[in-house]
Amino acid sequence: MLLALVAALAVPVAGAASADSAPADSAPAVSAPAGDAARGAELAALANCASCHTAAGGAPYAGGYALETPYGVFHGPNITQDPDHGIGGWTWPDFVDAMRRGRSPDGRHYYPAFPYPSYTKLHDDDLADLWAFVQTIAPVAQPSLDHALTRYRRRSVLGLWKLLELDRGALRDDPRLDAELNRGRYLVEAVAHCGECHTPRNGRGGRIDRKALAGSELPPEPGPNITPHEDALGGWTADDWEALLDLGILPDGDFVGGEMMGVVEHGTAVISAEDRRAIARWLMEGVAPQPP
Ligand code: HEC
Ligand code: HEC
């Protein structure tokens, strides 16, 4: 029944699917481009890959972290170079397919708990750097844990989800914005995926991007409204943003809490001051104010 629905809907939304062939979503070259592993490590830090792929006290990237969602608990898999339990046997096209299309080498759809709906926006050269970094992760022979889901246990429904919710392909610069604002937008939307925790979601669990960063109520922790609305962060200055992104300090002197501290500690605190300024400017000037 559900499969029939997927088949029936696949026809009218074929237009969405054909966006796949847009130039920005270039087909992966078969041989890997020469990426820079050190730059890839910085991208992985801002993208927070380690947080979901490392269990508390566990080996880096060996999986086991429990991610609580309204659909049940996801376990970040082992993405070390172990050929049996990790992704040691993957090719560059396999990696591109996972990051841009949310598709595994054997054709399964990934759950968007893996934030590929943001990572799909990564530029090709950044994906190549990430791939170079991923290949330096020491192999750990530890099996990935199964997810414990209460809804959407069957991955087949994710094909329909992707047709409706996944707007895939690298983010293109907006010619109306200067270079710093384009950089800030790219870091916020693609790499740091701030919207995955701060943008409200619809009933299907897709981000409502016209209300970008207006706040999300979802577990494990609600992400507050971080738009420049007067009742949200409209009063924040460039210095306020620098204190938050570099040190995790809020204007009232408190430290930011929960998941956000990890985003700062492993991500925004370790990037360059220029990139922090670009993020801050985008959040102050580029993002539309949204009422709480
Ligand atoms: C918010 C949590 C989260 C973050 C952040 C995250 N992932 Fe994942 N990732 C997951 C989950 C959950 C899965 C499993 C998805 C599934 O089973 O459908 C996954 C799956 C994967 C897979 C597929 C593994 C396999 O065995 O099929 C790869 C590769 C991967 N992630 C790489 C990355 C990289 C690289 C980053 C950083 C750029 C990253 N992930 C960031 C949660 C996350
Ligand atoms: C993994 C989820 C997650 C991601 C990704 C994330 N945040 Fe947060 N953020 C949170 C949560 C949860 C809080 C609330 C923390 C608290 O209760 O202290 C928060 C709080 C904040 C606050 C404080 C707001 C206030 O009114 O006190 C700011 C500012 C913020 N985040 C900005 C960002 C930016 C910018 C990004 C991207 C670079 C980002 N966040 C990415 C989860 C996230």
Residue 12 counted as domain residue: no
- With a cut of 70, say whether residue 113 has pLDDT above it: yes
Give the domain extent around 71.
35-165
Q: Kindly give the distance from the C-alpha atom of residue 115 to the centroid of ligand 2, in angstroms, as a whole number.
A: 16
Mean pLDDT computed over every residue of the chain: 90
Residues 123 and 41 in one domain: yes
Q: Which of 165, 199, 231 is the last residue of a domain?
A: 165
Looking at the 3D structure of the chain, how many domains does it have?
Answer: 2
pLDDT of residue 108: 97
Q: Between these two residues, 17 and 116, which has the higher pLDDT value?
A: 116
Residues 159 and 90 in one domain: yes
Residues 191 and 237 in one domain: yes
Residues 161 and 183 in one domain: no
Ligand 1 pocket, residues with Cβ under 6 angstroms = 44, 47-49, 51-53, 67, 74, 76-77, 79, 87, 98, 104, 110-111, 113-115, 119, 130, 134
**Distance between CA 78 and CA 194 in Å, rounded?**
24
Residues 232 and 159 in one domain: no
pLDDT-derived band at 28 (thresholds 50, 70, 90) equals low
pLDDT of residue 14: 32
